[in-house]
Amino acid sequence: MLFIQDGVGDRPIYKLGRRTPLEAANTPNMDNLARNAVNGLMDPLAPGIRVGTDVGHLALFGYNPLRTYWGRGPIEAAGINIKLEPQDIALRCNFATVDEQMRVKDRRAGRIREGTRRLARELNGLRIADDIEVIFKEATEHRAVLVLRGEKLSPEITDTDPGPEHIGEKVRRCEPSEPGLGLAQRTADAVNKFVERSHEILKDHPTNKARVEAGKLPANIVLTRGAGAALRMRSITERFGLQGACVAGESTVLGVARMAGFDIFTSPRFTANVDTVLEDKARYAIEALKVHDLVVLHVKGTDILSHDNRPLDKMHFIEKIDEMLGLVLSQIDEKVYVALGADHSTPCEVGDHTADPVPITIYGPDVLADNVAGYSERSCQRGGLCRLTANQFLLTLLDFMGFTYRYGS
Amino acid sequence: MLFIQDGVGDRPIYKLGRRTPLEAANTPNMDNLARNAVNGLMDPLAPGIRVGTDVGHLALFGYNPLRTYWGRGPIEAAGINIKLEPQDIALRCNFATVDEQMRVKDRRAGRIREGTRRLARELNGLRIADDIEVIFKEATEHRAVLVLRGEKLSPEITDTDPGPEHIGEKVRRCEPSEPGLGLAQRTADAVNKFVERSHEILKDHPTNKARVEAGKLPANIVLTRGAGAALRMRSITERFGLQGACVAGESTVLGVARMAGFDIFTSPRFTANVDTVLEDKARYAIEALKVHDLVVLHVKGTDILSHDNRPLDKMHFIEKIDEMLGLVLSQIDEKVYVALGADHSTPCEVGDHTADPVPITIYGPDVLADNVAGYSERSCQRGGLCRLTANQFLLTLLDFMGFTYRYGS
């Protein structure tokens, strides 16, 4: 069983006595595990390289993101269970708020959580060209996915979302990433048409009128980014001969897991935020372990609180995760290997992913316990695993479980 | 001088107080060396990757197995000093026992140790096709090597040996590894003919009749596997400008060493098993050091005992190796660099190679001693070398010895 605390890695925080949230948190279960385990540091790709949640999870699931990663869109599509056909182009979308001059007021429409299914239905199946089918579906909160289905489309296009550093600027035109890409021009035209039509359709929608009346920002446009073509990945079952399960709420993680061939255990109660129901995650994971070789349990809240620079809340949330871990440990066989890891660090005071390595732990009947003091960024510096990449971390875990192959004879 | 304890790395063993055989063994010489040396962990190829003895030694001798490894046959041929010509195909063979329906009773003919030279002579030079010459030679115990010499042969063929998990099944037909390989079909036909003829010739051979009378299993067939074409490797002398010597008993290690350009020091008393004469190995190594820059001393017994799950015997055998090390250390100049390593881990309770890293030590006048407690899997986790690959380990040793080149100016 592999526990992933998204973005848990942090840096010393003055208010916490120059400790990290993980160091400051009271985590008896993680610490006890680490003290009887082999520990170390992990770089998602390599030291000094920052990664996103998508790339971090591709690496943790044993893939080489440099070979398999072609844009976030297809991962988000998989996350909400849209099956892509080989020629499809998928884009991540946000419901957002623009003013009358099409300037972006809020990229997340006030982090809208309700009513997006109704809005999405208005856009799904939209006719923007005779030979391009539009599939549009809401994801968690303000997120959604756009799929363009048709021939002669290209993922080499730019984003219409101007990004977090350009609030107040106009919605961008979608363009080919490089001039002269004919298929990309055709695709960009379709995206621009879709974004324009989304504004026309959504701006006077009853859901938005109600939001404005309630003092909320209207979800009056869809912004696009991360265009990508369908990925082809060999599943973990094909690669290692194992059955995997992933317990998670976040669509990105679910998307990567689904593409990697994991069985998915999710629920509307898994909010990919701090209000997720951790006890249910624990229960699902224990259940999944009965019929799977590898169970991944992912928690997103740590990353959310880091992006929002809330170190104290992060510390408390880590303590809740520790309780969840205790619940799982109390109910699984002592022969099960239990690993702790993360997809990347998200130091609160940076508010973004950094390349700081994350602490890792492998606990199980046959590991050489290395006598570290507990599970944290600092104590794991002295661990017996030394410093591994995410791929190496997974392979080491699978090797203990007996799922690797010998090279040579 | 580089000491290689084959498969020495292990996992905690309950009977040994949750220590590894290396931790439990009384090894004053290794420990004293490590305490005054720089230590670390080593992965043969990379963390999480299991390797065979052949690949492990290719890596330890400074080669990239991903580039140089093309099947075990050519290594075994080199091990018993058969010089391959460029178009030869070499196969590993076992003398084995089959019943009258050609079902495999024992893949090693009761681990036959005597009389195989006589049996091999009957098969060497066998005519199986007008334009294919057969070279067949016995190796240690039940092992042998088949070389097919002729034009238009291919190593892309399957094994006739069904493998350890399929005892009781019929001898396999040799086939092209993938359909439609014409040269492979021609080669496979030749191998099948050879295997059939080996049974016809050996089943009533006097040596086998005597074995059956003595209650032993007859060596009544030859099984083949690991077909490979001749390798082309630049010798360590060409690559590093040094003269190397390898003191070993096992044909695989001798094969890799011979291909790498080491001078070979072997003897029938080096049995590649626990009854090898370690004192003689020490003497040969001390002798070899007088006229060589790098002497590799390999001991196989640790791996044998691990495959047989005999942790207590492994512990005792490690203590004997420690005495041998003491003998060597007492007789060599204090300026000689002494390194300890292994080709891979073979935990007794797994009974097979795993990806667990092995402890490494480099002792010598100019190393920065790192203050580890002794030579073991666990204490070397904190060593100053951190975690290296086998290639990096050899290069580090050669660099202390002054045999590396500068990259850049």
CB of B45 within 8 Å of a chain A CB? The answer is: yes
Reduced to 3 states, what is the DSSP secondary structure of residue A291? coil
Does residue B66 carry a pLDDT above 80?
no
Closest-CA distance, A242 to chain B, in angstroms, reads: 16
Q: What is the pLDDT of residue A95?
A: 98
- Chain A touched by B307 (CB under 8 Å): no
**What is the identity of the amino acid at A351?**
G
Q: A377-381, B76-80, B85-89: which has the highest mean pLDDT? A: A377-381
Q: Percent of chain B at pLDDT above 90?
A: 89
**For residue B231, is pLDDT > 80?**
no
Q: How far is B355 from chain A (nearest CA, A)?
A: 6
Contact A368 B12 (CB under 8 A): yes
Contacts of B46 in chain A (CB under 8 A): 392
* CA dist., res. A398 & res. B12, Å (int): 18
Among chain A residues, CA nearest to B57? A408
Cβ(B33)–Cβ(B188) under 8 Å? no
Up-side HSE of residue B195: CA atoms within 13 Å toward CB? Answer: 27
Q: Which residue of B has its CA nearest to A381?
A: B382
Q: Which of A382, A388, A409 sits opposite B47 (nearest CB)?
A: A388
- Please report the residues numbered 91 through 110 in chain B whose beta carbons come closer than 8 angstroms to any beta carbon of chain A: 92
pLDDT in tens, chain A (409 residues): 999 999 999 999 999 999 999 999 999 999 999 999 999 999 999 999 999 999 999 999 999 887 777 778 999 999 999 999 989 999 999 999 999 999 999 999 999 989 999 999 999 999 999 999 999 999 988 999 999 999 899 999 999 999 989 999 999 999 999 887 788 999 999 999 999 999 999 999 999 999 999 999 999 999 999 999 887 788 999 999 999 999 999 989 999 999 999 999 999 999 989 999 999 999 999 999 999 999 999 999 999 999 999 999 999 999 999 999 999 999 999 999 999 999 999 999 999 999 999 999 999 989 999 999 999 999 999 999 999 999 999 999 999 999 988 888 7
CA–CA distance, B259 with B234 (Å, rounded to integer): 8
**Residues 353-392, chain B, touching A (beta carbon < 8 A):** 353-356, 377-378, 381-382, 386-387
A21: alpha, beta or left? (left if phi > 0; alpha if psi -120 to 50) = alpha
Give B180's pLDDT tier (boundaries 50, 70, 90): confident
Enter the tokens of residue A229. Answer: 């073509």
Structure tokens belonging to residue B221? 């067939």
Which residues from chain A sit within 8 angstroms of residue B386, using beta carbons? 386-387
pLDDT (0 to 100) of residue A58: 94
Counting one residue from chain A and one from chain B, the pairs whose CB atoms sit within 8 A come to: 89
Q: Do A396 and B55 touch (CB under 8 A)?
A: no
Does B48 contact A386 at a Cβ distance shorter than 8 Å?
A: no
- Going through B271-351 in order, the beta strands assigned E by DSSP cover 294-299, 338-341
Mutate to test the interface with B, among A362, A368, A397 (most CBs of B within 10 A): A368
Residue of B nearest to A406 (CA): B50
Q: What is residue A25's DSSP assignment?
A: S
Give me the residue from A398, A405, A408 closest to B65, CB to CB.
A408
CA distance A354 to A345: 6
Which DSSP category does B195 fall into? H
| Residue numbers in A near B58 (CB within 8 A) | 408
Contact A409 B226 (CB under 8 A): yes
For residues B121-132, average pLDDT = 94
Task: Tell me the backbone φ, ψ of residue A272, rounded to 5 degrees.
Answer: 55, 30
Cβ separation of B48 and A382 shorter than 8 Å?
no
Residue A263, SS3 per DSSP: strand
Residue A150: closest CA among A213, A219, A88, A238: A88
Residue in chain A closest to B377 (alpha carbons) equals A368
A335 touching chain B per CB within 8 A: no
Contact B324, B278 (CB under 8 A): yes
Sheet holding A263-265, edge to edge: A263-265, A244-247, A294-299, A2-5, A338-341, A358-363, A38-43, A386-389
Give yes or no for B159 touching A (CB within 8 A): no
Position A231 scores a pLDDT of 77
**Residue A396 touches partner B, C-beta closer than 8 Å:** yes
Q: pLDDT, tens digit, for every residue of B263-293?
A: 999 999 999 899 999 999 999 999 999 999 9
Q: Closest-CA residue in chain B for A367?
A: B11
Within 8 A of A362 by CB-CB distance, chain B residues are none
CA B276 to chain CA mean position, Å: 15
